[in-house]
Amino acid sequence: MSDQILRGIPASDGIAIGSVFCYVPDELSIPVCAAGTIVEEMARFDKARERARLELQSLYEAIKKRAGKEEASIFEAHQEMLFDPTLESKIREFVEIGQTVEHALVNATAELANLLAGMPDELFAGRALDVKDVGHRVLRILLGLPDTALSAVTEPSIIVAEDLTPSDTASLDPKLTLGFATAQGGLTSHSAILARTLGIPAIVGMGAGLLEQVSSNTSMILDGRTGELILEPDDETSARYKQIKAQRESHLQILKAVAEKQACTANGRHVEVAANVGEAASARSAMEYGAEGIGLLRTEFLYLEDTQPPSEEKQYRIYREIFEVMAGRPVIVRTLDIGGDKPPSYLPFPDEMNPFLGWRAIRISLDEPELFKTQLRAILRAAVGHQARIMFPMISDLDELRRARAILETVKRNLELDSVEFAANVPVGIMVETPAAAVLVDVLAEASDFFSLGTNDLTQYTMAVDRGNAKVSGLFQPLHPAVLRLIWQTIEAGHAKGKWVGMCGELAGMTKAIPILLGFGLDEFSMNPRAIPEAKHLIGKLTDEQTRSIAGQVMSLGTSADIENYMKDILVAL
Amino acid sequence: MAEATIPVKHKVGLHARPAALFVQTAAKFSSRIKVKNLTANGNFVDAKSIIMVLTLGVMKDHQVVIQTEGADAQAALEALQALIENNFGEA
């Protein structure tokens, strides 16, 4: 017998195997009774509305705790809809023609929900469900019924429903919800978003008639990867899916276990594994992948998406949000790092023969002190109560570093004069990405609290190669002996001056480079969040003795090809 | 009465947070405030009503017309204009 398969839109990854709970929300029936006076009916509405506001407020708090502020914000939106003046005046119109407030509410919300449901854009049309949800809540309160929704689910089940409102989803018990499938909804539905946040497998948009094909208490497999629902699977299919599910879970477990732990070498030395992040959203994913901090917060995105530079307030808000997501873990904010290859419209860029050797990064900041000061003010203010660090890009000598620090001191003085709260003791470091900086680390240490190697630029400038130029891009070799020597010197010189040295270039996340960098004594590895679990896993397999010997061996090899081959053998043997 | 036509640059248009901020700002004023989506050639709706503002379907780069009428009409118009021009305080 072949299994019956239904298909929808895969909305949240994972596999659920279990029994079905068909969820059909109670049709609230309004008892027949005569309407009171307009004043009486509207007073009942006001009272129910106030109760609804309190319910929504506590739902907001509960979801915020469970899934975060962003997921909870839907219940703030519901509170706004609840007090919508158009909703109220529509209800009043129906009451004025003699309806009870219950009927008036149903008619008014249906009318407004229909306006939204007919809109062509999915995001806007989706708000119809919110209006209905709000209306349903008030009606339920008017009828004196408790907030039950999905509380009838008492056994772990796969929920199948026509659609799930935000209130329905909020009442899902994640422990009893193996997964859910809905006839309606899209990837941007609140339920789909929440499912992804909570890691519940889900399929949406299965089409009308879903509930007619599925019955409660039958068995089902829900594959959130492919969007397939398999109804009453035979033993063979069940066994196959159980195996896939187990494999998937054990792999996730391993990575999760690794991600949760601090990165330690096999002999127990802790090295920091951090994430490179370019926006607030990826700070969240960095945390999921087990970042112990942000080793590089790129701020360019703030500068490139508008026709004017970002205001201090906007920057403050975004930095603050990222610091809060990282909850006390260190965050290194790199100041503006742009150049003529990607110029924002509001800066007077000259025509440049070589934008990569031109007016860029700290060079711009020093020439445009107002732009620079705005950013530093925002960082220092946002850093209050957090572990923020400031990092200047593309420093090539002590004079530049001193000038940048002098501007930072001016900014601090001005903040003091303005009596604005700011973090006074934010550590300040530099990116080591020019060969000049790499050979001057002992000198730069006078004014730098830490160093972070940017290997993409360091490779490009050391090898004098443009990696976008196919004719010569073969010379872009981050494992080139010349680049590795500069990295080694930087770490040695930094340590000799008592400063820690990290790396935020691509190399830091490459398995073929990690053993060498450990052997050099690198203190911090900052990488794409997705590379973190693998990197932590690898670090845990190596002892310091091993990596020192690997590094020594690598330093004796003369070409990148030799080094690549040697590392390939090392990794295979691990 | 005061009136202004402004392009909305925010990536989600007048939806989610921008829509909420727009309505909250409008609600601070006693003037009657109406808004319409010029690009979609729709009708004016009450700018203090989140549901009606959503029905305008204002997306990125749509032009909206704001009309204010009342004691604080000018201040209301300026506040809403500034909100949209500053991209709702974000990107």
A91 touches chain B (CB under 8 A): no
Report the alpha-carbon distance of residue A503 to residue A490 in Å, rounded: 11
Question: How many other C-beta atoms are found inside a 10 Å radius of the C-beta of residue A355?
Answer: 17
Note whether residue A235 is domain-resident: yes
A34 and A116 in a single domain? The answer is yes
Identify whether A1 is part of a domain: no
Does the annotation count A495 as an active-site position?
A: no
Mean pLDDT of A68-93: 92
Q: How far apart are CA A363 and CA A403, in angstroms?
A: 11
DSSP bridge pairs for A331: A294, A388
pLDDT-derived band at A149 (thresholds 50, 70, 90) equals low
pLDDT at residue A531, rounded to an integer: 84
Flag whether residue A496 sits within 8 Å of chain B, measured between CB atoms: no
Taking all residues of chain A, what is their mean pLDDT, rounded to a whole number? Answer: 91
Whether the per-residue pLDDT at B14 is higher than 90: the answer is: yes
Tens of pLDDT, residue by residue over A369-403, are: 999 999 999 999 999 999 999 999 999 999 999 99
pLDDT > 90 in chain A, percent: 68
Residues of chain A numbered 99-118 and touching chain B (CB < 8 Å): 112, 115-116
Given A121, A147, A173, which residue is the final one in a domain? Answer: A147
- Whether A307 has a pLDDT exceeding 70, the answer reads yes
pTM for the predicted model, two decimal places: 0.57
* Complex ipTM more than 0.90, yes or no: yes
Pull the structure tokens for residue A525: 């590895």
Specify the CATH number for B2-89; select among 1.25.40.10, 3.30.1340.10, 1.10.3720.10, 3.30.420.40: 3.30.1340.10
Window from A67-71, A147-151, A288-292, A522-526 with minimum mean pLDDT: A147-151
In chain B, what residues touch A56 (CB-CB under 8 Å)?
none
- pLDDT, one tens digit per residue, over A151-182 is 778 889 999 999 898 888 877 888 889 999 99
- B12 interfaces chain A, CB cutoff of 8 Å: yes
Inter-CA distances, A356 with A62, A314, A359, Å: 50, 29, 8
H helix or E strand, kind and range, residue A140? helix A127-142
Give me the CATH number covering residue A211.
3.50.30.10
DSSP strand pairing (A428-432 vs A388-392): parallel
One domain, residues A103 and A171: no
Asked if pLDDT for residue A481 goes beyond 90, the answer is: yes
- Distances A132 to A74, A127, A522, B50 between C-alpha atoms, Å: 14, 9, 57, 14
For A255, A482, A553, A567, the CA distances from A550, given in Å and listed in that order, are: 26, 17, 5, 9
Tens digits of residue pLDDT in A221-260: 999 999 999 999 999 999 999 999 998 888 777 777 877 7
Bridge partners for A161 per DSSP:
A23, A182
Rounded-to-integer distance, Cα A95 and Cα A142, Å:
15
Model confidence at B91, pLDDT cuts 50, 70, 90, reads low
Q: Are A40 and A233 in contact (CB under 8 A)?
A: no
Given a contact cutoff of 8 angstroms between Cβ atoms, the answer to whether A182 and A163 are in contact is yes
B46 touches chain A (CB under 8 A): yes
If asked whether residues A69 and A190 sit together in one domain, one would say no
**Least confident piece of the model among A136-140, B49-53, B86-90:** B86-90
**Would residue A255 count as lying in a domain?**
no
Nearest to B52 among A86, A119, A121 (CB): A86
How many helices (H) and strands (E) in chain B?
Answer: 3, 4
Which chain A residues touch B89 with a CB distance below 8 Å? 313-314, 317
Q: Cβ separation of B91 and A121 shorter than 8 Å?
A: no
Amino acid identity, position A245: K
Report the residue from A112, A127, A305 with minimal CB separation from B91: A305
% of chain B at pLDDT higher than 70: 99
Contact A392, A447 (CB under 8 A): no
Q: Are strands A524-527 and A500-503 parallel, antiparallel or unpaired?
A: parallel
Inter-chain residue contact B91 with A76, CB threshold 8 Å: no
**Residues A434, A439, A443, A449, Cα dihedral to 10°:** 60
Sign of the CA dihedral A536, A537, A540, A543? negative
**A193 touching chain B per CB within 8 A:** no
What is the predicted pLDDT for the residue at A218?
93
Task: Tell me how many residue pairs between chain A and chain B have CB atoms under 8 A apart.
Answer: 59
Structure tokens given for A447 = 């004014």
Mean pLDDT of A67-90: 90
Last residue of a domain, one of A95, A114, A147: A147
Query: CB burial class (10 A; 0-12, 13-18, 19+) of residue A378?
Result: buried
d(CA B78, CA B28): 13
Q: A104, A102, A124: which is closest to A115 by C-alpha?
A: A124
Residue A21 inside a domain? The answer is: no
pLDDT, mean of residues B25-43: 94
The answer on pLDDT for A87 being more than 80 is: yes
Place of tokens 């050391």: A462
User: Quick one: A129 and A159 in the same domain?
Assistant: no
The answer to whether B8 touches B62, Cβ cutoff 8 Å, is: yes
Q: Is residue A17 part of a domain?
A: no
Same domain, A37 and A69: yes
Number of domains in chain A: 3
Contact B57 A86 (CB under 8 A): no
Q: What is the pLDDT of residues B38-63, one digit of tens each?
A: 998 889 999 999 999 999 999 999 99
Contacts with B, A 277-336, CB within 8 Å: 301-302, 305-306, 310-311, 313-314, 317-318
- Mean pLDDT value of segment A209-231: 93
* Closest CA relative to residue A301, chosen from A284, A287, A322: A322
Q: For residues A229 and A391, what is the distance between their CA atoms, to the nearest angstrom?
A: 50
Q: Looking at A120-134, A336-350, A531-545, which range is the least confident one?
A: A336-350
Indicate yes or no: CB of A119 within 8 angstroms of CB of B57: yes
Task: Determine the pLDDT at residue A1.
Answer: 47
> CB–CB of A112/A87 below 8 Å?
yes
So where are chain B's domains? 2-89
* pLDDT at residue A335, rounded to an integer: 97
Q: Give the residue among A505, A397, A506, A503 at the shortest CA–CA distance from A441.
A: A397
- pLDDT > 70 in chain A, percent: 99
Same domain, A401 and A298: yes
Q: Which of A548, A561, A469, A470 shows the shortest CA–CA distance to A515?
A: A548
- Choosing from B15, B69, B72, B78, the catalytic residue is B15
Domain end marker among A130, A147, A164:
A147
Of the given ranges (A86-100, A195-209, A226-240, A250-264), which has the lowest mean pLDDT?
A250-264
A5 pLDDT exceeds 80?
A: yes
User: How many angstroms separate the CA atoms of B55 and A120, rounded?
Assistant: 11
Question: Looking at CA atoms only, how far is residue A84 from chain B in angstroms?
Answer: 5
E strands present in chain B: 2-7, 32-37, 45-46, 63-69
Check residue A148 and give its pLDDT: 66
Please, which pLDDT band fits residue A528 given cuts at 50, 70 and 90?
A: confident
